[in-house]
Amino acid sequence: MQQRLVALAVLLVAASAACASSPAASAFVGDVRVALKHVDAGKQLSRPELIRRAMRRSKARAAALSAVRSRRGSARFFPGASDQPQQAPGATAVRPSGDLEYVVDLSIGTPPQRVSALLDTGSDLIWTQCAPCASCMTQPDPLFAPAESASYEPARCVAPLCNDIPHHGCLRPSDTCTYRYNYGDGTTTLGVYATERFTFASSAFGGGGGDAMMSVPLGFGCGSVNVGSLNNGSGIVGFGRNPLSLVSQLSIRRFSYCLTPYASGRRSTLLFGSLAGGVYGDAAGDGPVQTTPLLQSPQNPTFYYVRLTGISVGGRQLRIPESAFALQPDGSGGVIVDSGTALTLLPAAVLAEVVRAFRAQLRLPFANGSSADDGVCFAVPAAWRRAASASAQVAVPRMVLHFQGADLDLPRRNYVLDDHRRGRLCLLLADSGDDGSTIGNLVQQDMRVFYDLEAETLSFAPAQC
Q: Give the active site residues.
A: 120, 338
Secondary structure of residue 312 in the 3-state scheme: strand
CA distance 430 to 231: 21
Instruction: Identify the CA nearest to 196 among candidates 13, 17, 25, 14.
Output: 25
DSSP letter assigned to residue 360: H
User: What is the sign of the dihedral through the CA atoms of 275, 277, 279 and 285?
Assistant: positive
User: How is 169-225 classified by DSSP, letter by letter?
Assistant: EEETTTTEEEEEEEETTS-EEEEEEEEEEEEEEESS-TT-SS-EEEEEEEEEEEEEE
CA distance 376 to 174: 55
The answer to whether the CB of 200 falls within 8 A of the CB of 214 is yes
The answer to whether the CB of 349 falls within 8 A of the CB of 434 is no
**CB-based burial label for 195 (10 Å; 0-12, 13-18, 19+):** buried
Maximum CA pair distance of the chain?
Answer: 74
